[in-house]
Amino acid sequence: MAGRLLVLRRHVHLHRRVIPAQHPSLDAAPLVVLHGLFGSSSNFNTLSRKLNATRSVVLADLRNHGASPWDDDASAEAMAEDIVELLDSLGAERAVLCGHSLGGKVVMAAALAHPARVEQLIVADIAPIEYSMAHEGWRANLTIMEAMGALPEAVLGTRGDADAALREAGVAEAGIRAFLLQNLVPEERRFRLNLHGLIAAARTGVLAGWPAHLPPAPATLPARLIAGRRSPYCTAAGAREAFDRLFPGAEPQTAWLEAGHWVHAEKPDEFARLVGQPFA
């Protein structure tokens, strides 16, 4: 198109696990669940067993995470193309997409770029906005990445040594360290994260950014936002307004849970109910 630069995004083949439906329904599209930054598909192992009554659940690792390939393009648009390739490889014309945090940004971008492939959209505690690196959540994310990236190989041989080193590097909360150390591969003295690529994407604003040129989704696309009242992500200025504008098929009111950013971990039963709840 004249006056516009076409940027072709390269997709990667995501590592995934498929949990079959207990009582399969022929017309039930699969539910694809995506984790957040520093996470992996294993974060939703327990939740998947609450959601596979009539539809299969697909747990995938985002690029640069878990067992998926690395690619230094960490933009939401590039990762959205990974989801399309995932659906193609599964032979799924459409799917219900659910994503938490960074995974939520990815499923939103996929729904806006390829609305015909999305039956329903469920976003957990993130908004379709560009977060400043002054934002407390994203600032903390960069600090954590830099702390992990600066650890010497000598301390990565055991979980105990790595935990102590992270604590000394300023990652004070034991729960966060335990979560991060799920990525440790001690026998190889490394993390299963593309820290170099993620740090670069965070420093340049790509990771916290948002592709503002994407048009709103059709009003026929059902969308639901599940937010934590104690989280800084959906309480940020303009967060709710941006979601409502881009997803006019959203329910009139966002579902707020008495939780922080990890809504699915803090309120698993309520979260599962909202993910499985039919749209009006």
Q: Please report how the helices 195-203 and 136-149 are oriented relative to each other, as an axis angle in degrees rounded to 10.
A: 140
pLDDT at 249: 84
Which CATH superfamily does the domain covering 16-130+209-276 fall into? Alpha/Beta hydrolase fold, catalytic domain (3.40.50.1820)
Query: Is residue 56 annotated as a catalytic residue, yes or no?
Result: no
Choosing from 101, 114, 213, 231, which is the catalytic residue?
101
Tell me how many degrees the CA angle 121-124-125 measures, rounded to the nearest 5: 135
pLDDT at 277: 85
| Residues 6 or more apart whose Cβ sits within 8 Å of residue 188 | none
Spatial distance between the Cα atoms of 95 and 197, rounded to a whole number of angstroms? 29
Choosing from 15, 100, 261, 264, which is the catalytic residue?
261
3-state secondary structure of 99: strand
Q: Walk along the chain (280 residues) and give the pLDDT tens digit of each residue.
A: 344 444 456 789 999 999 999 999 888 999 999 999 999 999 999 999 999 999 999 999 999 999 999 999 999 999 999 999 999 999 999 999 999 999 999 999 999 999 999 999 999 999 999 998 889 999 999 999 999 999 999 999 999 999 999 999 999 999 999 999 999 999 999 999 999 999 999 999 999 999 999 999 999 999 999 999 999 999 988 999 999 999 998 765 689 999 999 999 999 999 999 999 887 6
Q: What is the DSSP letter of 29?
A: P
Comparing CA positions, the residue from 127, 143, 140, 99 lying closest to residue 236 is: 127
Query: Is residue 101 annotated as a catalytic residue, yes or no?
Result: yes
pLDDT at 101: 97
Comparing CA positions, the residue from 279, 168, 167, 166 lying closest to residue 225 is: 279
Spatial distance between the Cα atoms of 199 and 187, rounded to a whole number of angstroms? 24
Q: What does the block give as tokens for 1?
A: 């198109």
pLDDT at 5: 43
